[in-house]
Amino acid sequence: MDNTHYITSDVISIDDVNQIINQGKLIALSDEVKLNIEKCCDYLDHKMLDNETPIYGINTGFGSLYNVKISNENLSKLQENLVKSHACGIGNEVPQEIVKLMLFLKIQSLSYGYSGIQLQTVERLIDFYNHNILPIIYEMGSLGASGDLAPLAHLSLPLLGEGEVYFNGNKVDSSEVLKHFNWKPIVLKSKEGLALLNGTQFMSAYGVFSLIKISKLSYFADLIAAISLEGFDGRLEPFNELIHMVRPHKGQINTAKRVKEFLEDSQIMAHPKKHVQDPYSFRCIPQVHGASKDVFDYATKVFKTEINSVTDNPNIFVESDLIISGGNFHGQPLALTLDFLGIAVAELGSISERRTYQLISGLRDLPPFLVSNPGLNSGFMIPQYTAASIVSQNKQLATPASIDSIVSSNGQEDHVSMGANAATKCLKIVENLERILAIELMNASQAIEFRRPLQSSKFIEMFLKSFREEVPLVSDDRILHYDIEKSITFLQSFQIDDFE
C-alpha cells in the first residue's frame, strides 16, 4: 500500500491533516501542483528581467523600507537577508508536533502556485517533513500580522543551511543535516524569502493542533460529566430531547443525546431519586457543553478555510498578468477565532470543577471528600483546590489577545492581530482542560463506588474498569499527585474507537 499523501488542489480538512500526521504518511506534490508552482516561478523570473518597476518585497525593501529599490543583482541576497534578519524568535521551543504541522501547512499554502517560489524550495521543505527534520522554532516573536514572520523565519533557516533542527532525536546544526543528505543550501530567488516568511502557519498549526485535541476532550467532558451525574445521584430529565427541541442549538441537542446514550440501561440512573432538581453544573450540561461545541464547529470552519488558503504577499496571478500586494497574511480571522476557542474550552473546565466541588461536599449520601473515614483522611479535598487553581489560570488566559495591537515597522504595520499570542495561550487552556477533566474523573469514579451494588451502563462500567487498572480506588490517604498524573495519561492514551 502506498503510504504517500499527494498534495493536490483539492480541499483538505482538519481530519485529513490529523490522519496524514498520525498515520505517518509521507507527502509529495502531484504533477498538477508541480506545474502550477513552476508556471508561477517562471512567470516571475520573466517579469523581473530588466524590470525597473518597484514591486514590493521582490525588488524593494520590506515593511517601512518598501520605498528602497534593490538592484537585480542583489535580489537573491535580499531574500536571504530577509530570512536571517527576521529569525528573532525567543522563549520556549515550539513543540515538535506543531513544527511538523507548520511544515505541512506551509507546503500546502505554497502548492497553489500564487507565491512565485521555486519548485526545489518546496520539495526541500517536503524532504524536511518526510525525514522528520524539524526546525527549532520559538513561541514568542510573532505579531500575527505580516504573517508569523519570526517563527516562519526559523522554519526557513535550514533551507539556507542556517539555524538548528531536531533530527534523529538530537538537536543539531542544519548544515550538518544538509551534509548528511548531500544537499546543497537553497539559493533563494526573487520573492522567495517573503513567500516563506509571510503566512499564518504558526497560528494555523497551533489552531489545528488545539482543535484535534479538543475533539477528544469534548467527548471526555460529556462522558465524565455523565459519570459525575451518576455519582451525584442526579436526574436524567434535563437530557430529555423534548427540552432541547424547543431550543434547538446543535451542540445542546448533541450533548443531551450523547449523555443519554452513555447512561442507557444504568441501574444507578433508574434508581428512585429523593431530590427534585440538580445544581446547574449537572442540570445545564447540555446547554454549557453544547455552546462550547458550537464554537468548536465554527472554529473548525475558519481553520479549514485558512489551511486551504494562500497567505503570503504579494500574490502572483499568472493568468491575469498581475502581481498584487495585499494583506492575506493578516491573522485577524484566526486571532478572533482562537480567542473565542479559548473561552469555550475554559468554560468546559469551569463547569467541570463545579461538578467536582459538588461531589466532595458531603451531599446526597456521599461522605465528605469521598472517603469512608473523613477527618482521619482528607480524601479528595485538595484535588479540588488544584482544579480550582487551574480554572482560575484559564480565566486569566482566556482574556482576548486580539483586542490588543502595537504599531510596528515605523508605522507601516499599524494594526496587528496578536493571533500568535492567542494561539499559544489557547493551547495552554486546552492542556489545562485535560488536567481538570482528569481530576473530575478521579472524583466521579470514586463517587460511583458509594452507589454500589447498583451498576452504571455497560459502556461506563467498561470505561471505569479500564480506568481502575491505572488508578485504584482511594481507601486511605495517599499521594494523589501520582493519581492525577496517571489520570491525565489515561485520558491521553485512551482510544475511544476501541470502546464504541
Residues taking part in catalysis: 56
Between CA 68 and CA 24 the distance in angstroms is 45
Strands of 50-130 (E only): list them: 90-93
List phi, psi (to 5°) of 352.
-60, -45
Question: What is the total residue count of the chain?
Answer: 500
Between CA 290 and CA 342 the distance in angstroms is 15
Q: How far is CA 179 from CA 184, 192, 322, 337, in A?
A: 8, 23, 39, 42
323 DSSP β-pair partners? 316
Contact present, 335 and 418 (Cβ < 8 Å): yes
Amino acid making up residue 283: R
Between CA 201 and CA 208 the distance in angstroms is 10
Contact present, 222 and 259 (Cβ < 8 Å): yes
Contact present, 395 and 425 (Cβ < 8 Å): no
374 DSSP β-pair partners? 377
**Per-residue cell: 310:** 494562500
> Could you give the count of Cα atoms lying within 13 Å of 270 in the half-sphere of its Cβ?
9
4 DSSP β-pair partners? 26
